[in-house]
Chains A and B, each alone.
Chain A
Amino acid sequence: MSRMQWWVVSALAGLALLLMASSLTLGALNRSLQAEVGVRQQYVQQSLQLETLYREIIRALAELGARNNDDKLREMLQRHGITYNAAPAAAAGAAAPAPAAPGRK
């Protein structure tokens, strides 16, 4: 093997080694990033369920506040940017609250 051939083979082998190290490093980074993406996706999925709960709580508080004319409850909801109008009395006592869309502060 001549000197030139030795250098060619050595350079290619060194590049292959460099590529292998880069591939391993990038693979490890990808696994970490994929795990983070999975955690964030799970966080979003749980938040969707909590959004349903949030809307149900607001609806229930508005119904109770309107039905029983609870000023404290109304004030508390107003602090969170939520207002509602009491149903007309013709509704046979059944409160039909029409809570406004939750206002985000």
Chain B
Amino acid sequence: MNPPGVFKLPAQRMDHGTASGTAQAADEHQHTLPQDDGARAVTGAGVHAGGASGAHAGGAGGAHAEGAVGAHAAGAVGARTAGRPAARSAADQATRTAFVPLLLMALALFGWFGAQLYDAYQQRQTLLAAHGSQQQTVDNAGKLRQLLDALAADTQRLADTGNANAALLVTELRKRGITITVPGAAATAPETAVQPQR
């Protein structure tokens, strides 16, 4: 294809109507073609314009033929230059799928929740270690409470039988806000015999 500048015709010999009409026809035809197939649009415009130029060349002579061919060339080139961005965007659109953004998002979520799970696992290991280290202390504390409860209950029973020393101790404890409840004697048996009052 020759560029449009090659065909320089005198203005009075140039059939502007035919040329512009041919070019317009080529442009209109190119516009009616689908935008996503640029190469086919260029080819279609060239064939259509060529057919128009051939008709004019046979009927009106060489000048018309040259003008029509020039118009054909211009129309074809215009259609081709107009079709390039559409073709490029169509090709880009064909390659841009949702895979990459979805993959990135899935990887981000995978990493985020993985980090959260790792932190939770570490925290659980620390808590389990603390729970295990407390076991011996808790057992000792339970034994101590049982000893205290038994001693306090026996002291209370001894005071109830009339022992003055035991009664004095129970009174002193009560003054300090500590009451002793014997499990067998109380209607509602609490677990602890010694209940500090607050």
- Residues of A whose CB lies within 8 Å of any CB of B are 1-2, 5, 8-9, 12-13, 15-16, 19-20, 22-23, 26-27, 29-30, 33-34, 36-37, 40-41, 43-44, 47-48, 50-51, 53-54, 57-58, 60-61, 64-65, 68, 70, 72-73, 76, 79-80, 102, 104
Closest to B178 in A: A53
Question: What are some 15 contacts across the A-B interface (CB < 8 A)?
Answer: A1-B97, A1-B99, A5-B99, A5-B103, A8-B99, A12-B109, A12-B110, A22-B117, A26-B124, A30-B124, A41-B134, A51-B148, A54-B147, A76-B155, A80-B147
Given A29-B124, A37-B131, 9 additional A-B pairs, CB 8 A: A1-B102, A13-B109, A26-B120, A33-B127, A33-B131, A44-B138, A47-B142, A57-B155, A65-B165
Q: List residues of chain B with CB within 8 A of the CB of A50.
A: 144-145, 148, 194
Out of A40, A44, A70, A79, name the residue touching B154 (CB < 8 Å): A79
Cβ A12 vs Cβ B106 within 8 A: yes
- Residues of B whose CB lies within 8 Å of any CB of A are 97-99, 102-103, 106-107, 109-110, 112-114, 116-117, 120-121, 123-124, 127-128, 130-131, 134, 137-138, 140-145, 147-148, 150-152, 154-155, 158, 163-166, 168-169, 172-173, 178, 194, 196
Q: List residues of chain A with CB within 8 A of the CB of B107.
A: 12
**What 10 pairs between A and B have smallest CB-CB spacing?**
A47-B141, A12-B106, A19-B113, A16-B109, A64-B165, A26-B120, A5-B99, A23-B116, A23-B117, A54-B148
Cβ A20 vs Cβ B113 within 8 A: yes
Q: Is the interface of B mostly helix, strand, loop or mixed?
A: helix
Cβ A9 vs Cβ B131 within 8 A: no
Cβ B169 vs Cβ A72 within 8 A: no
Q: State the CA gap A1–B106 with chains docked (Å).
A: 15
Out of A26, A27, A80, name the residue touching B151 (CB < 8 Å): A80
